[in-house]
Amino acid sequence: MFTGLVSDVGNVRLVEPRGELRRVRIACGYDPASIALGASICCAGACLTAVATGAGEGPGWFDVDVGAETLARTTAGAWRVGTRLNLERSLKVGDELGGHIVTGHVDGVAELLSRADFDAMARFDIRAPRALARFIAEKGSICLDGTSLTVNAVEAEVFSVLLIPHTLAVTTWGERRAGDRLNIEVDLMARYAARLAEAPR
């Protein structure tokens, strides 16, 4: 479980095909001694399992195995050496829940349509996959590339988010441009509310 508050930006150092899996090495600022094998780390919005750790690239690195389902449903299939990824360690009991509840189970891939910069901030217009649009509401929460954001406006499948200077500086959002693809996870409560509404009475 995560909050969508990015705690580091990692850098892909190795992508190694292993049949239907890809082994990916991510350099990060986390102390490798603090990453237990089997720990969950949110990588650009996708919950992945640390299968190896080590030192030597900055403070350290960790490896994840990315399976066929994740490769098909997220942007992970496009990760290359040099790709920068928003990272978040999993929640511990007692941690502050400052964003919103994020599972790391990516629902699909959205498209960034436009970016407008003003007053050191940036507004992004994004097209959600049609099947997910009904879960997105004005002033609701959305997780994009592992970042918890508030939806400013919605029109059909297009919605907008506004990022403050701090978020642009400490995540990969400062690099985002029109045409980029983003991992999207809709709000968990919206998903369950829709499911309950559809259930037979």
* Domain CATH for 125: 2.40.30.20
Return the higher-pLDDT residue of 195 and 160.
160
34 part of a folded domain: yes
Both 85 and 113 in a single domain?
no
Would the pTM of this model clear 0.95, i.e. be above it? no
pLDDT tier at 98, thresholds 50, 70, 90: confident
Return the higher-pLDDT residue of 59 and 187.
187
180 part of a folded domain: yes
Both 64 and 115 in a single domain?
no
Both 119 and 159 in a single domain?
yes
**47 - beta bridge partners?**
42
55 part of a folded domain: yes
Both 77 and 147 in a single domain?
no
166 part of a folded domain: yes
Both 66 and 129 in a single domain?
no
- Is residue 41 classed exposed, middle or buried when 0-12, 13-18 and 19+ CB atoms within 10 A define those classes? buried
Both 116 and 83 in a single domain?
no
If you count them, how many residues does the chain have?
A: 201
pLDDT tier at 124, thresholds 50, 70, 90: very high
Number of neighbouring beta carbons within 10 Å of residue 17: 8
How far, in Å, CA of 42 to CA of 143, rounded?
11
Both 82 and 117 in a single domain?
no
What would the pLDDT profile of 29-49 be if each residue is shown by its tens digit? 999 999 999 999 999 999 999
3 part of a folded domain: no
Chain-centroid distance, C-alpha 29 = 18
81 part of a folded domain: yes
Both 112 and 150 in a single domain?
yes
1 part of a folded domain: no
What would the pLDDT profile of 9-22 be if each residue is shown by its tens digit? 999 999 999 999 99
Query: Burial code of 155-179, b = ≥16 C-beta within 10 A, e = fewer?
Result: eebbbbbbbeeebbebbbbeebeee
For the chain, the domain total comes to 2
State which residues form the domain around 82. Answer: 8-89
pLDDT tier at 198, thresholds 50, 70, 90: confident
DSSP the chain: -B-S---EEEEEEEEEEETTEEEEEEEESS-GGG--TT-EEEETTEEEEEEEEEEESEEEEEEEEEPHHHHHHSGGGG--TT-EEEEEEPP-TT----S--B-S---EEEEEEEEEEETTEEEEEEEPPGGGGGG--TT-EEEETTEEEEEEEEETTEEEEEE-HHHHHHSGGGG--TT-EEEEEE-HHHHHHHHHHHS--
